[in-house]
Amino acid sequence: MRMFRSGAALLCGLLAAAGLTDVAGATSAPTGNAKAIAFYRSVVNATRAHSGVVVTQTGYVLMTDELGRSSSFSFTFGIGSRRPGYVPAVEHITIAAVNRRISWVSDDMVPEGCTAQAGGSCLPVELLLYSGGLLWRFDSPRLPASSSCWSSNVRAGTEVAGYTKTGVASGYALYGYFYPVKRVGGSDEVTSTYPWGKTQKATEVDTISLATRLPTSSVVHVSAAPGAPAFTYRWTNQWLAKAPVMPRTTMCG
């Protein structure tokens, strides 16, 4: 989504991730239809006025993991190609804000399509970014506490849902080329395009509530390029008037 727009290499013991480089133009002034840009600016302001959002996102992350004597977890994101042993993940992202600034972010990745037997493989993994740094854990009710504790062994600069630190501005961002707004039922649809990496283009369609001017759902279609297949990912938002409570962080011994 519009605040989840970059990737960075991550290494945490046997925890590893790789993803898309920063979206080109994300810091440039928006172009295109002036009325749509003005409208989306009001949407950005509406998102920043809220104290949090819960996002369910699909189609963006592939992951694999194993719990055992040599526990491991790795994921890749923002690409269309599959990797052997990796499965799609449903992301349950929570973003909390205080005074329009990010206070903490969590991304609970739940693998789909796993066929491994219970006992360690294909476990959900949660990442947590807060003022104290970045943590991760295996997140499953069938694990004992000793296996679901939090670890801080993560390289500095790693991102969680597009963020590398707290205290930055919350809410959506305004960038890209905008087309005229369309009224569809009880919502407005805003379509924008922007470069995706060096060779691809993303087309994003945001569905905006008429009553609140908050995005309720979005879909992004990323075009194909040589060596990079097309793919689509999407998400839904639940906006919060009150900041959510951060998960308890029982650290591993």
Contact 106, 127 (CB under 8 A): yes
Contact 227, 250 (CB under 8 A): no
pTM of the model: 0.88
Each residue of 74-124: pLDDT tens digit?
Answer: 888 888 888 777 888 999 999 999 999 999 999 999 998 776 543 445 789
Cα 209 to chain center, whole Å?
A: 21
Each residue of 211-248: pLDDT tens digit?
Answer: 999 999 999 999 999 989 999 999 999 999 899 999 98
Q: How far apart are CA 68 and CA 50, in angstroms?
A: 41
Each residue of 124-133: pLDDT tens digit?
Answer: 999 999 999 9
Confidence at residue 32, expressed as pLDDT on a 0 to 100 scale: 98
Q: Which residue has the higher pLDDT, 189 or 87?
A: 189
Return the beta strands (E) in the chain as ranges. Answer: 10-12, 15-19, 31-32, 52-66, 72-77, 87-98, 101-111, 125-130, 133-138, 177-178, 182-184, 187-196, 200-209, 215-222, 231-240
Angle (nearest 5°) at CA 91 between 161 and 99: 45
Per-residue confidence band for 72, with pLDDT thresholds at 50, 70 and 90: confident
SS3 21: coil
Range 16-29 burial, b when 16+ CB lie within 10 A, else e: ebbbbeebebeeee
Q: Which residue has the higher pLDDT, 142 or 53?
A: 53
215: nearest Cα among 225, 226, 224, 204 = 204
Tell me, letter by letter, the H, E, C secondary structure of 190-238.
EEEEEEECCCEEEEEEEEEECCCCCEEEEEEEECCECCECCEEEEEEEE
Per-residue confidence band for 64, with pLDDT thresholds at 50, 70 and 90: confident
Q: Which residue has the higher pLDDT, 140 or 135?
A: 135
Q: How far apart are CA 40 and CA 34, in angstroms?
A: 10
User: Amino acid letter at 200?
Assistant: Q
Confidence at residue 81, expressed as pLDDT on a 0 to 100 scale: 81
Per-residue confidence band for 139, with pLDDT thresholds at 50, 70 and 90: confident
Confidence at residue 14, expressed as pLDDT on a 0 to 100 scale: 41
Q: How far apart are CA 3 and CA 6, in angstroms?
A: 9
Residue 145, pLDDT > 80, answer: no
Residue 2, pLDDT > 70, answer: no
Confidence at residue 90, expressed as pLDDT on a 0 to 100 scale: 94
